[in-house]
């Protein structure tokens, strides 16, 4: 599954939109949401590490 992009898209669709259609737009939305969530998580971790090192 790591190399199969379409299978990943369907899995993300099932995760974010369990009752959604398997159409192009819904797959794209699921992929966009996943990228957005990854970015939010990265920023949260970076902020937590920065706070940890900036404590006096």
Domain boundaries, the chain: 5-54
Binned at pLDDT 50, 70 and 90, residue 56 comes out as: low
Binned at pLDDT 50, 70 and 90, residue 3 comes out as: confident
- pLDDT tens per residue, range 32-54: 999 999 999 999 999 999 999 98
Q: What is the pTM of this model?
A: 0.79
Per-residue confidence (pLDDT) for residue 4, from 0 to 100: 87
Residue 1 has pLDDT above 90, yes or no: no
Nearest Cα to Cα of residue 27 among 37, 13, 16, 14: 13
């Amino acid at each position: 599954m790591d190399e199969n992009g379409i299978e990943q898209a369907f899995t993300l669709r099932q995760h974010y939109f369990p009752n959604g259609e398997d159409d192009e737009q819904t797959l794209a939305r699921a992929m966009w949401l996943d990228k957005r969530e990854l970015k939010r998580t990265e920023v949260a971790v970076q902020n937590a590490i920065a706070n940890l090192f900036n404590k006096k």
